[in-house]
């Protein structure tokens, strides 16, 4: 399929910069981008009888969400409260339901459809501890996803810990039959593992190089619990570092309550942070200190953290990213919001060569945002789009094309 989409186009370049084409053209061939430029430039290159589709709106790259729990989508935004109580009372009972493979199959179809309608085409997802539910999430995938079954050995109901792959032999066998391009080793968080099991995971990660995702320093009560459970660690970050779990392919969710030496350690290992502003707000946790993260040059991307985060829309995540940091007097721009929700996310996932921006040779996954004629700058239009985004995008005309095909 060769096609030219004619519309306004906004493409992220870097943290501070985007490029806007008022009358732009995106030239797509079999789901791959062949050209992006002003329409008049592409028009001169496209030969006889081009197939041109006019779109009324602004094309941006499909969104990337680098930290969410697909098995919490059904209860997303329904519960709040202290992290640990919220997990024990609401989230773990919900995740236990995913032992039922029929339920998991139905939920996976719904999850990917909802995410596509919200414009999210790539992401990193935590599954329940069940190997079967994880395989279902991998098999039902729409878009480019990385999924990992949460590994939980202790301090959780048996319905969850019994299903985990804590035996190194079983874990290695599981990894051998799993598509490692789409799998992340997923120790849930330090309180659910022992120093011994974390070390085992570090060894397995060294043998099977793969993405690793976990939570780090999200709340003060969690921090106190980690101190009790790992009294000889200098800090929370060291618990993972001693196990060899901090690598350039590690994505650390939240990182709210961090000391300077922890940032230095994260930086030295080259790990990424998944910044989840809507979830931090919804669960009553503090603001992630963006200024510290910047001072230490830590790479990061934005994430919804479904179901701590109440919305699966990256438009909402971007809106609150701008809101929470501005309220604290920390400067943030719409250019950075878009970059952190697209290109930075793809790079965080090791997919920088194939997605995250509208560049020749990359996948033509894009979203059409509504045109707002009253806006007098691209920045004002983009922020109006964020604040005007409905809570449930399901029935909105937010078109998403995946690999050049119109999605459901």
Partner that binds at residue 218, options Zn ion, ligand GUN, none, CB closer than 5 to 8 Å by kind: ligand GUN
Q: How far is the CB of 36 from ligand GUN (least distance, A)?
A: 37
Q: Does 215 bind ligand GUN (CB under 6 A)?
A: yes
CA distance 245 to 69: 20
Does residue 226 touch ligand GUN according to CB under 6 A?
no
Measured in degrees and rounded to the nearest 5, phi and psi for residue 80 equal -145, -165
Query: Under the criterion CB under 6 A, does residue 218 sit at the interface with ligand GUN?
Result: yes
279 makes contact with ligand GUN (CB under 6 A): yes
**Applying CB under 6 A, what is the total number of residues that bind ligand GUN?**
11
If one asks whether residue 134 binds ligand GUN (CB under 6 A), the answer comes out as no
Comparing CB distances to ligand GUN, the nearer of 61 and 129 is 129
Residue number, 305 or 365, with CB nearest to ligand GUN: 305
Distance CA(245)–CA(44), nearest Å, equals 52
Give the x-and-dash track for 83-112 against ligand GUN (CB under 6 A).
x---x---x---------------------
Beta bridge partners of 88: none
Query: Are 151 and 164 within 8 A, CB to CB?
Result: yes
Classify residue 363 by its DSSP letter: B
Which residues of the shown chain bind Zn ion in the complex (CB under 5 A)? Answer: 253, 305
Nearest to 143 by CA among 359, 408, 344: 408
DSSP code of 287? P
- Return the residue nearest ligand GUN (CB atom): 308
Q: CB-wise, 222 or 305, nearer to Zn ion?
A: 305
- Return the number of the residue (55 or 97) whose C-beta is nearest ligand GUN: 97
Identify the CA nearest to 270 among candidates 251, 295, 290, 242.
251
Q: How far apart are CA 320 and CA 326, in angstroms?
A: 9
308 is an interface residue for ligand GUN by CB under 6 A? yes
With binding defined as CB under 6 A, does residue 189 bind ligand GUN? yes
* DSSP type of residue 97: G
| 275 counts as binding ligand GUN under rule CB under 6 A | no
Burial class (CB in 10 A: 0-12, 13-18, 19+), 256: buried
Distance CA(130)–CA(119), nearest Å, equals 28
> What is the full DSSP assignment across 105-133?
HHHHHHHHHHHHHTTEEEEEEEE-S-HHH
Partner from ligand GUN, Zn ion, none contacting 87, C-beta within 5 to 8 A by type: ligand GUN
The listed partner (ligand GUN, Zn ion, none) that binds 278, CB under 5 to 8 Å by sort, is none
Footprint on this chain of ligand GUN (rule: CB under 6 A): 69, 83, 87, 91, 188-189, 215, 218, 279, 305, 308
């Amino acid at each position: 399929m060769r096609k030219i989409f004619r519309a306004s186009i906004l493409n992220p370049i870097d943290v501070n910069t985007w490029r806007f084409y008022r009358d732009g053209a995106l030239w797509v061939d079999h789901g791959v981008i062949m050209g992006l430029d002003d329409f008049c430039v592409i028009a001169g290159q496209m030969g006889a009888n081009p197939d041109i589709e006019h779109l009324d709106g602004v094309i941006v790259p499909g969104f990337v969400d680098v930290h969410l729990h697909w098995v919490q989508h059904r209860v997303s935004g329904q519960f709040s409260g202290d992290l640990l109580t919220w997990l024990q009372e609401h989230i773990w009972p919900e995740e236990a339901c995913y032992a039922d493979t029929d339920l998991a199959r139905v939920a996976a179809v719904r999850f990917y459809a909802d995410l596509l309608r919200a414009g999210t085409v790539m992401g990193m997802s935590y599954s329940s501890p069940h190997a079967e539910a994880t395989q279902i999430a991998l098999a039902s995938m729409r878009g480019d996803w990385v999924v990992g079954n949460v590994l939980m050995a202790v301090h959780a109901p048996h319905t969850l810990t019994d299903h985990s792959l804590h035996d190194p032999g079983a874990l290695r066998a599981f990894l051998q039959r799993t598509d490692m391009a789409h799998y992340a080793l997923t120790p849930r968080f330090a309180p659910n593992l022992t120093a011994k099991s974390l070390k085992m995971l570090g060894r397995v990660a060294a043998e099977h190089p793969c993405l690793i995702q976990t939570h780090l320093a999200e709340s003060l009560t969690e921090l106190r619990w980690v101190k009790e459970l790992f009294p000889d660690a200098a800090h929370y970050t060291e618990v993972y570092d001693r196990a060899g779990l901090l690598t350039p392919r590690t994505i650390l969710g939240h990182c709210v309550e961090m000391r300077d030496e922890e940032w230095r350690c994260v930086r030295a290992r080259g790990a990424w942070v998944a910044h989840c502003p809507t979830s931090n707000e919804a669960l009553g946790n503090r603001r992630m200190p963006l200024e510290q993260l910047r001072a230490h040059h830590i790479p990061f991307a934005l994430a919804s953290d479904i179901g701590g985060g109440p919305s699966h829309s990256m438009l909402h995540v971007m809106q609150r990213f701008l809101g929470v940091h501005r309220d604290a007097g920390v400067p943030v721009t719409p250019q950075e919001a878009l970059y952190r929700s697209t290109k930075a996310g793809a790079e965080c996932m090791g997919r920088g060569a194939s997605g995250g921006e509208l560049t020749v040779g990359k996948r033509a996954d894009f979203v059409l945002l509504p045109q707002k004629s009253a806006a007098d700058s691209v920045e004002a239009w983009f922020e109006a789009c964020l604040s005007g985004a409905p809570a449930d995008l399901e029935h909105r005309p937010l078109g998403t094309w995946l690999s050049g095909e119109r999605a459901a």
